[in-house]
Amino acid sequence: MSNNDFDTLIIGSGLAGFTLALHLAPYKKVCIVTKQTADSGASSWAQGGIAAALSTNDSPAKHVHDTLVAGAGLCDEEVTRYVAENAANAIYWLINQGVIFTSDRTSETGYHLTKEGGHSMRRIIHSGDATGKAVQQALIQKIRNHPNIAVLEHHIAIDLITSDKLSGYTDLKQKRCFGAYILDKKKDKVLTFTAQNTVLATGGASKVYLYTTNPDTATGDGIAMGWRAGCQIANMEFIQFHPTCLYHPHAKSFLISEAVRGEGGLLKLPNGERFMPHHDPRAELAPRDIVARAIDFEMKKRGLDCVYLDISHKPAGFLKEHFPTIHSRCLELGIDITQEPIPVVPAAHYTCGGVVTDKQGKTNLANLYAIGETAHTGLHGANRLASNSLLECLVLAQAAGNDIVNQPANGLPQLPDWDESRVTDADEEIVIAHNWDELRRFMWNYVGIVRTTKRLQRAQHRIALLHEEINEYYTNFRVSSDLLELRNLVDSADLIVRSAMLRHESRGLHYSKDYPDTLPVAHNTILKRDI
């Protein structure tokens, strides 16, 4: 095998990719490809925690019920049960990997469990208010020290290599994936990676919006690559807007955790009046879609730039102990959360749709898997329940690992090198920045929390123009990281708008003024590409 031949190629370095790599490493030669550093993905940004029924007064059945309610009729019940029933084992696996969760000596579990919107019980295990960072730091030590795992940082995937693109390949019974073309960003060279199995674990597409809680890496790469390769895509209209992103000119994408409301934080207007009780009987603990729409409604109705999340009525010591990251970051910006409310706005947070998979992570392309936020497993339905995201990464990555280990090894064809014979260096790279900015602004304005058919049509028209410009650029010039991300963002935006236009109702995270009612029967939006 050459240096770029692996048993399993994992594109992405979040919790799903790391978990899968560690499960495969005793049996397989694994490569993790990440476009920045191994710890730069959205998983590290997760604050709240991981949902699991750990206490004796809780149960997987209660966890399933809460997930189904939040999912507004579109959760796959079999997948939801599978994830909830395997949640506790996933937590114990993390503890065995060295993850340190916040303890509570008075609790029967020994750990502090918090409650978040949509949950009927305290079942969120966490590490302060920086759970994702604690988990990723523990796992990355295992990853870097394992002889069977190679981590290639500053490498970005361009496209998957599939059997229908290979001349002379004769096995046409099922379309297969054999690897991917990868750009080495530092050497500015495109490499060919061959793998028995390839895994898309690149996270979501929230960077398609102007305001987001996600890092710059969340550009929908895996979803777009899967779509171009022929994967089915589901439910991309369901983009979760987190209700409480810090509103400050010097704070970029800083999330105020759901757990702040879980521990008693109250949403208020500038005059100090609460408004959530007027929108839902669960008030601040309603599911995220309801809270985000309520904030959006109040801001538009009153012409506000933001609303306020107030937890200053809690003891200062409690806040510093439970929310050290939020406390210190706000203090840096001149906001003392022990004395005053936090200015917040909704922001794009999570992609509930994605590449369609079964509960082993398998897509409709042989030897191609998708896990984590990139995938649509059916767990989240029309609205993800808080703290089910990291849980899905853990449980489904383990399931995918078990499936991959049991896959027989197949002979792989010789893959062609990347062809740069007909391209030149880009002459006006500023075009990429302009297109990126235009896309994110009109997606925020036209395909945001509240939608109309006319707004969606306007967005669709602009996406078509951007597609044309980007394809011309991609065809004639050498690829760059910025161009590849923009290409993936536009494809992701197109999938979001297409899906939204097909849903003639309001359900979960998709709210249309033209179709305000919810239909009696729930259906997934499935997109299939004719290629």
Any idea which residues carry the catalytic annotation? 288
Angle separating helix axes 15-24 and 131-144, nearest 10 degrees:
30
Closest listed residue to residue 11, CA positions, set 219, 253, 166, 210? 219
CB atoms within 10 A of CB 273: 8
Ramachandran bin of 215, using left for φ above 0, alpha for ψ from -120 to 50, beta for the remaining angles = beta
Calculate the alpha carbon distances from 18 to 144, 173, 376 in Å. Answer: 10, 32, 19
Calculate the alpha carbon distances from 225 to 229, 492, 494 in Å. Answer: 6, 10, 13
Cα end-to-end span (Å), the chain:
31
- Give me 310's structure tokens: 């107030």
Pairing of strands 30-33, 113-114: unpaired
> Using an 8 Å Cβ cutoff, are 354 and 223 in contact?
yes
- Residue 519 contacts by C-beta under 8 Å, 6 or more apart in sequence? 504, 505, 507
- What b/e string do you get for 463-486 counting C-beta neighbours within 10 Å, with b at 16 or more? beebeeebeebbeebebbbebbbb
- Give me 295's structure tokens: 């904030």
Closest listed residue to residue 270, CA positions, set 311, 313, 304? 304
- Residue 215 contacts by C-beta under 8 Å, 6 or more apart in sequence? 40, 41, 42, 45, 253
Helix, coil or strand: residue 484: helix
- DSSP letter assigned to residue 180: E
Name 177's bridge partners. Answer: 162
> Using an 8 Å Cβ cutoff, are 320 and 328 in contact?
no
